[in-house]
Chains A and B, each alone.
Chain A
Amino acid sequence: MMTFWKLLNLEVKRLVIPFVIMAIMVAAVQMYGAHAMARHTENEAKEIMAREKLATVQQLEELHGLASYADVIRINQSPWIILPIGLCIAFLLFYLFFVWYRDFIGKHSFMSRLLMVPASRHHIYFAKLFAPLLVIFALLAVQLLVLPVENRYYNSLLPDEMRVEYPLNYLISAIPFLRKLIPLSAEQFAFNYGMGIAAVIVLYTGVLLERSFRLLGLFGAIVYAVAAVYIATIPLGLGDHWFFYEKARLLAGIISVIGALSLWLSLYLLKRKITV
């Protein structure tokens, strides 16, 4: 077990710099976005007041309501929020794909060193699975911390009588993209991230198939991935005589089976078939 923690530590260390860059980028871009949106709200309010000849902010409020950060980001589907998260997702997808290949570079790659560690090879697999997951959850935590801060910052730039403050869950609900990343119910959270983990396991299986059987393995990996996606989406095509919760449960069941099967296959390949 100690080996697992050491390997996980090694993998996490390799992700620290990208994580710091991503966290700073998310915070900086979203804070700038909050600033820009506050200025935009202020200018818009002044324009409306001038156009409609309103003397006070109270009159503006009576006619147009109060401004809130949640409403602003919902109406604009704020690119200041979506863009940095999108960039992080793109990087993490790239990382998940290359987390194995990176260690296979060179004639005698670092993978050969890892495979010769005197512990079960399962530890290597789980270290490579959990390290990106830890970073993903750490980024979610950063997002959850930054969102109220940018909300406060936005509000601090506007006059008190012009704005209203909403709680964090209202902010998260404002952008569907954000709502998918940070589901507000535990069940939905487990479902979304369970699906994500299963997808990563299928991806890793594909990579290990390719690494074990090279060209033939690549073909096998493509067939495996297509079959996994096809089987996983069967419940989505079921007719209306199925209740939504029935479809969801069936989907969760199928994805669990695919994930478990892929995990078993990955571990088998890593133990018996991998070639460096």
Chain B
Amino acid sequence: MIELNNVKKRFGFRTVLSGVSFQAPKDAITCLTGLNGTGKTTILKSIMGLTPIHGGTITIDGSPLHHTSYERIVFVPDQLPMPGRMTVEGCLEFMSDHYRNWNPERAAELTQMFKLGLQDRVGSMSKGTAAKLNLLLALAMNADYMLMDEPFSGIDMFSREQIASVFSSELVEGRGVILTTHEVKEIEHLLDYVVMLDNGRITKQFACEDIRLAEGKSVVDVMREVYET
């Protein structure tokens, strides 16, 4: 389980996270949602140790982040973090070189599934293709947790469908997923937990099952209630 307890973060004098606490269990999809600039990406980066926090604790299965944790937790940013000159093959090599839990067979399958050319360069890829490669680099790792930042942002409908289909496939089965998105509608039925943020604070968090059964509402209904009031 990934657990955030009273996490605080400032950029200069601006507070971006004030006392954020939530738990994201393994084998469940947790969605962080909120308007732009509410701190969703900062939470993911904080979990991954890509930006320091100024208070609180973050633990992964009870332990603070350590460099060995990167074998168990993988981050998919909203843009592919690879140099523009690198080819798909180079990206796969890089991952295979540095991660012991890299699964080359799965990487090969996904390369075919996403129709990626091994000699295509990152810099010349469309946003959709880059998003697929980005996802591939995470899915081909046997990691326990996957953090995804806006996986549907700015990509075409077909790529979006292909990426959405991954969430219901065995590729994410058994993993804990935390994703940030505005576009909840398309994957609403797959979500287990939702954490709603506003101005660096959690305004509401709930299990989707509870909302559906107890209140007969969809996640989008709850979002409307929270953000339109």
State the A residues within 8 Å of B (CB): 3, 6, 10, 103, 106-113, 115-121, 214, 216, 272-276
Q: Give me 26 A-to-B residue pairs in the complex whose CB atoms sit less than 8 angstroms apart, sorted by A's number.
A: A6-B98, A103-B83, A106-B79, A109-B81, A111-B81, A112-B45, A112-B48, A112-B75, A112-B77, A113-B82, A115-B49, A116-B48, A116-B50, A116-B74, A116-B75, A117-B67, A117-B70, A117-B98, A118-B67, A118-B68, A118-B98, A118-B99, A120-B67, A273-B52, A274-B50, A275-B52
B27 at the interface (CB under 8 A from A): no
Question: Within 8 Å CB of B124, what residues of A?
Answer: none
Question: A107, A110, A274: which contacts B83 (Cβ < 8 A)?
Answer: A110
* Additional pairs, 20, CB under 8 Å, beyond known A107-B79, A116-B48: A6-B97, A107-B77, A107-B78, A108-B77, A108-B80, A108-B149, A110-B81, A110-B82, A112-B48, A112-B50, A115-B50, A117-B98, A118-B69, A118-B98, A118-B99, A119-B98, A273-B52, A275-B51, A276-B45, A276-B51
Question: Within 8 Å CB of B70, what residues of A?
Answer: 116-118
Q: Count CB-based A-B contacts (< 8 Å).
A: 65
Q: Which residue of B lies closest to A121 (CB)?
A: B67
Question: B49, B69, B81: which contacts A108 (Cβ < 8 A)?
Answer: B81
Complex Cα distance A100/B213, Å? 52
Complex Cα distance A116/B98, Å? 10
Question: B50, B68, B75, B99: which contacts A275 (Cβ < 8 A)?
Answer: B50
Contact A10 B81 (CB under 8 A): no
Contact A113 B81 (CB under 8 A): yes
Question: Within 8 Å CB of B78, what residues of A?
Answer: 107-108
State the B residues within 8 Å of A (CB): 12, 45, 48-52, 67-71, 74-75, 77-83, 94, 97-100, 149
Contact B71 A118 (CB under 8 A): yes
Contact A276 B83 (CB under 8 A): no
Q: Which residue of B lies closest to A214 (CB)?
A: B12
Give chain B's interface secondary structure class.
loop
Q: Which residue of A lies closest to B76 (CB)?
A: A108
Complex Cα distance A209/B75, Å? 25
Complex Cα distance A10/B77, Å? 22
Complex Cα distance A167/B100, Å? 53
Complex Cα distance A122/B78, Å? 27
Complex Cα distance A108/B138, Å? 15
Give the top 6 A-B pairs by smallest Cβ distance, nearest first: A108-B77, A118-B70, A113-B81, A275-B51, A108-B81, A108-B79
Q: Which residue of A lies closest to B75 (CB)?
A: A116
Complex Cα distance A107/B153, Å? 14
Question: Within 8 Å CB of B51, what residues of A?
Answer: 275-276
Complex Cα distance A120/B68, Å? 9
Question: Within 8 Å CB of B69, what residues of A?
Answer: 118
Q: Which residue of B lies closest to A122 (CB)?
A: B67
Contact A276 B50 (CB under 8 A): yes
Question: Within 8 Å CB of A274, what residues of B?
Answer: 50, 52
Question: B52, B74, B98, B149: which contacts A272 (Cβ < 8 A)?
Answer: B52
Complex Cα distance A106/B71, Å? 24
Question: Within 8 Å CB of A106, what residues of B?
Answer: 79, 81
Question: Within 8 Å CB of A121, what residues of B?
Answer: 67
With A6-B97, A10-B94, A276-B50 already in contact, the answer to whether A119 and B81 are too (CB < 8 A) is no
Q: Which residue of B lies closest to A115 (CB)?
A: B50
With A118-B71, A275-B51 already in contact, the answer to whether A112 and B81 are too (CB < 8 A) is yes
Question: Within 8 Å CB of B80, what residues of A?
Answer: 108
Complex Cα distance A163/B79, Å? 64
Q: Which residue of B lies closest to A5 (CB)?
A: B97
CB distance from A264 to the nearest CB of B (A): 18
Question: Within 8 Å CB of A120, what residues of B?
Answer: 67
Question: Within 8 Å CB of B48, what residues of A?
Answer: 112, 116
Q: Which residue of A lies closest to B101 (CB)?
A: A118
CB distance from A137 to the nearest CB of B (A): 25
Complex Cα distance A162/B64, Å? 76
Question: Within 8 Å CB of A6, what residues of B?
Answer: 97-98
Question: Within 8 Å CB of A118, what residues of B?
Answer: 67-71, 98-100
